[in-house]
């Protein structure tokens, strides 16, 4: 049986670059070599695409952060950049070619150009902007290449927490009260912005960049000073900021979804963070956070989490995979839908993989399912008419 060439794209131009390297290391290390031939494609923080000299091997974001520090001091080897513009000009402008072996050529100016990677499917492991937000997915749609995960719309909505909440509310799904602030408005009239938030929400509140994940740039504000510093931090990462009401006595519950038109939900799990909330350090750098799977919920509560997870998946028109995050109030027993992540952390110890392992699907089998779902979805799109005649 012919092995499928799987292009694993990782890194990216976001604050989640290091997390992406750790996820890619797990994917590359667990693809069945009898069925797949992985091709590591790394996007540097400055946007350059490179064929990696070696696949990522770090097993945790903390390891990757140290590796990135060392890599920053190492010069990039010439002749390894992947150019999306094909040469000469009588070839396609945009082509991620399938069905031919890789070859290293040169353009008219002598720059090295990689042609004909022969990729059968792309496995994006890019977290955050410029990878998880629909930009890469749009590129792959234009190139007509199968890829794992959500399409352009679901990826964009899944990254934009403000638009996501609008859709959740329209479907009647339970969400906390929130306000959206433009970073430009915050810088121009900070007193007006703070006063407006305080009129609508009570402390404590959570301040987040709208288009970012992995808890990057998030602050729990308990007073005006905390709100102001949180807004300033979030504004460094995004042009939009979301401020959310805190859930009393909140527990963090997560559920994994897998599928295309008939998605399935895993058993729910609970995160008990090592800090006051599950920020970036608690997720990736501390060792005290705990993952409890299955979550200690009643059967009725677990079923409701699974139902809401599938509803959220369908609302944004997701495909392939998603991790859906909830806040469960121990004080009131209310469940609030927090957000949906279309490319969740994908290390073997990440919640998404562990939830499916607890549900009977181990990591290599999960990769098989995701690739099969990508090929299935692509085949369905190829059956659509592109002409009226």
SS3 189: coil
The residues of the chain that CATH labels 3.30.470.20 are 158-174+248-380
Q: Maximum distance among all alpha carbons in the chain?
A: 68
Report the b/e string of 71-102 with b at 16+ CB within 10 A.
eeeeeeeeebbbeeebeeeeeeeebbbbeeee
- CA dihedral sign of residues 80, 84, 90, 91: positive
Alpha-carbon distance values, 194 to 71, 189, 206, 228, 357 (Å): 41, 9, 13, 7, 44
pLDDT in tens, the chain (389 residues): 688 999 999 998 887 888 888 899 999 999 999 999 998 988 888 888 888 777 777 655 566 556 555 655 555 444 344 444 333 333 433 445 444 444 444 455 554 444 556 789 999 999 888 899 999 999 999 888 899 999 999 999 999 999 999 999 999 999 999 999 999 999 999 999 999 999 999 999 999 999 876 567 899 999 999 999 999 999 998 999 999 999 999 999 999 999 999 999 999 999 998 766 545 454 444 566 789 999 999 999 999 999 999 999 999 999 999 999 999 999 999 999 999 999 998 988 889 999 999 999 999 999 999 999 999 999 999 999 888 88
Q: How far apart are CA 282 and CA 61, in angstroms?
A: 12
Whether the full predicted model's pTM is greater than 0.75, yes or no, is yes
Phi/psi of residue 329, nearest 5 degrees:
-85, 115
Q: In this predicted structure, what is the pLDDT of residue 306?
A: 98
Q: In this predicted structure, what is the pLDDT of residue 62?
A: 60
Q: Which residues have C-beta within 8 Å of that of residue 169, sequence separation ≥ 6?
A: 175
Which of 200, 246, 241, 242 has its CA nearest to residue 222? 246
Q: In this predicted structure, what is the pLDDT of residue 287?
A: 60
- CB-CB contact of 339 with 164 (8 Å): yes
What size, in residues, is the chain? 389
Q: For residue 116, give both structure tokens.
A: 């004909």
Q: How far apart are CA 300 and CA 306, in angstroms?
A: 10
Q: For residue 265, give both structure tokens.
A: 């939900």
Q: How far apart are CA 173 and CA 286, in angstroms?
A: 33
DSSP H helices in the chain: 17-30, 61-72, 135-143, 152-159, 161-170, 183-188, 190-200, 224-235, 280, 299-315, 351-358, 363-382
The residues of the chain that CATH labels 3.30.1490.20 are 178-245
The residues of the chain that CATH labels 3.40.50.20 are 4-149
Centroid of chain to Cα 213 = 7
Q: Which CATH class is domain 178-245?
A: alpha beta
| CA-angle at 106, arms to 102 and 112, nearest 5° | 75
Q: How far apart are CA 148 and CA 158, in angstroms?
A: 15
Q: Hey, how many other C-beta atoms are within 10 angstroms of the C-beta on 186?
A: 19
Cis amide leading into 204 (omega within 30): yes
- CB-CB contact of 224 with 199 (8 Å): no
Into which CATH architecture does domain 158-174+248-380 fall? 2-Layer Sandwich (3.30)
Q: Which CATH class is domain 4-149?
A: alpha beta
Q: At what angle do helices 17-30 and 363-382 cross, to 10 degrees?
A: 100
| CA-angle at 223, arms to 220 and 217, nearest 5° | 30
């Amino acid at each position: 049986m012919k092995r499928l060439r799987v292009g694993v794209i990782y890194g990216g131009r976001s604050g989640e670059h290091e997390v992406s390297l750790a996820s890619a290391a797990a994917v590359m290390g667990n693809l069945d070599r009898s069925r797949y031939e992985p091709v590591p494609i790394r996007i540097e923080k400055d946007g350059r695409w490179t064929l990696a000299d070696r696949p990522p091997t770090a097993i945790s974001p903390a390891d990757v952060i140290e590796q990135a520090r060392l890599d920053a001091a190492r010069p990039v080897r010439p002749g390894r950049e992947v150019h999306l513009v094909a040469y000469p000009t009588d070839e396609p402008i945009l082509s991620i070619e399938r069905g031919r072996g890789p070859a290293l050529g040169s353009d008219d100016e002598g720059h090295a150009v990689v042609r004909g990677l022969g990729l059968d499917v792309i496995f994006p492991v890019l977290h955050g902007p410029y990878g998880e937000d629909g930009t890469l997915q749009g590129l792959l749609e234009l190139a007509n290449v199968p890829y794992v995960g959500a399409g352009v719309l679901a990826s964009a909505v899944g990254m934009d927490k403000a638009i996501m909440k609008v859709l959740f509310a329209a479907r009647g799904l339970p969400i906390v009260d929130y306000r959206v602030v433009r970073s430009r408005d915050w810088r121009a009239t900070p007193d007006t912005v703070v006063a407006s938030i305080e009129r609508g929400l009570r402390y404590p509140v959570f301040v987040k960049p709208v288009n970012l994940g992995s808890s990057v740039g998030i602050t729990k504000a308990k007073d005006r000073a905390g709100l102001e510093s949180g807004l300033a931090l979030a504004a460094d990462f995004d042009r939009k900021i979301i401020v959310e009401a805190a859930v009393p006595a909140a527990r963090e519950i997560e559920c994994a979804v897998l599928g295309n038109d008939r998605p399935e939900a895993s058993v729910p799990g609970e995160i008990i963070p090592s800090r006051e909330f599950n920020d970036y350090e608690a997720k990736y750098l501390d060792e005290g956070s705990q993952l409890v799977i299955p979550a200690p919920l009643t059967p009725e509560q677990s079923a409701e989490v699974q139902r809401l997870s599938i509803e959220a998946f369908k609302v944004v028109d997701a495909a392939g995979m998603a991790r859906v995050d909830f806040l469960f109030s121990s004080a009131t027993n209310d469940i609030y839908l927090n957000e949906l992540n279309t490319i969740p952390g994908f290390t073997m110890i990440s919640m998404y993989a562990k939830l499916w392992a607890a549900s009977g699907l181990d990591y290599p089998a999960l990769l098989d399912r995701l690739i099969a779902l990508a090929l299935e979805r692509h085949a369905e799109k190829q059956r659509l008419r592109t002409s009226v005649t």
